[in-house]
């Protein structure tokens, strides 16, 4: 199959399986989404969704968050892992939002990525899911599937993002990246993967 044929088959399959793409991380606004995405680094969405209600009950705005100490934040988010680094980043970025952005989450990649603890992937999730700006957040799961499907050479997530953006039109990016995440969890896991039973790998996979 050509890349174009693979892309068409993949999108048709994902649209049939996942016509709705709810955002996996619970949030109420751009700020709570930003914090949830930051917490999701090396942590499952399921665990994050158990912890954020506890955190947001104490502080769900930058102004409230800076009233907590870093130690208090760390104590709440400890089950998410990397709590010393994440708690410091949450406190610092909340103060920066107050000082430099009128307490609002900025709506540009450059300003988001300048915040402590916010890398390109986190910024891409916020831009796409909070503000509807076309972005293609690539995590290790999307990177793995894109490589399996022969859509990228698999060198790194940066190259995978570039390749996927070249293959799929911008108006599909925000939905497609969520569909791929859902598909990976249900049909295409990293371990114990049976390509012959996978609706996509059984047709297009170049690596099993």
Question: How does pLDDT run across 145-154, given as a tens digit for each residue?
Answer: 999 999 998 7
End-to-end Cα spacing for the chain: 16
Residue 95 has pLDDT above 90, yes or no: yes
- Residues serving a catalytic function are 121, 139
* pLDDT of amino acid 46: 95
Give the pLDDT score at 208: 41
Q: What residues contact 2, with CB distance under 8 A and at least 6 apart?
A: none
Instruction: Supply the CATH classification number for the domain 3-21+136-204.
Output: 1.10.1670.10
Rounded to an integer, the average pLDDT of 74-91 is 97
Return the CATH number of 30-129, one of 1.10.1840.10, 3.40.50.300, 1.10.760.10, 1.10.340.30. Answer: 1.10.340.30
Buried b (16+ CB within 10 A) or exposed e, 94-103: bebbbeeeee
CATH 1.10.1670.10 domain span(s) along the chain: 3-21+136-204
Confidence of residue 206 (pLDDT cuts 50, 70, 90): low
Answer yes or no: is pLDDT of 173 > 80: yes
Computed from CA positions of residues 110, 116, 120, 122, in that sequence, does the dihedral angle turn out positive or negative?
Answer: negative
Ranges in the chain annotated CATH 1.10.340.30 = 30-129
């Amino acid at each position: 199959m050509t890349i174009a044929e693979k892309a068409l088959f993949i999108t048709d399959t994902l649209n049939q399986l996942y016509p709705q793409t709810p955002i996996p991380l619970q949030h109420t606004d751009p700020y709570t989404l930003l914090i949830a995405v930051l917490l999701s680094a090396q942590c499952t969405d399921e665990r994050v969704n158990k912890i954020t209600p506890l955190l947001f009950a104490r502080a769900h705005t930058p102004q409230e968050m800076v009233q907590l100490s870093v130690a208090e934040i760390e104590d709440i988010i400890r089950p998410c892992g990397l709590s010393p680094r994440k708690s410091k980043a949450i406190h610092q970025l909340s103060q920066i939002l107050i000082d430099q952005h009128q307490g609002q989450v900025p709506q540009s990649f450059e300003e988001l990525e300048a915040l402590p603890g916010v890398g390109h992937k986190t910024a891409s999730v916020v831009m796409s899911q909070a503000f509807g700006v076309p972005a293609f957040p690539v995590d290790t799961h999307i990177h793995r599937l894109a490589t399996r499907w022969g859509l990228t050479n698999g060198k790194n997530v940066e190259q995978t993002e570039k390749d996927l953006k070249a293959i799929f039109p911008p108006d599909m990016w925000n939905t497609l990246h969520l569909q791929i995440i859902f598909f990976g969890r249900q049909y295409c896991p990293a371990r114990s993967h049976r390509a012959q039973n996978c609706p996509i790998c059984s047709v297009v996979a170049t690596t099993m």
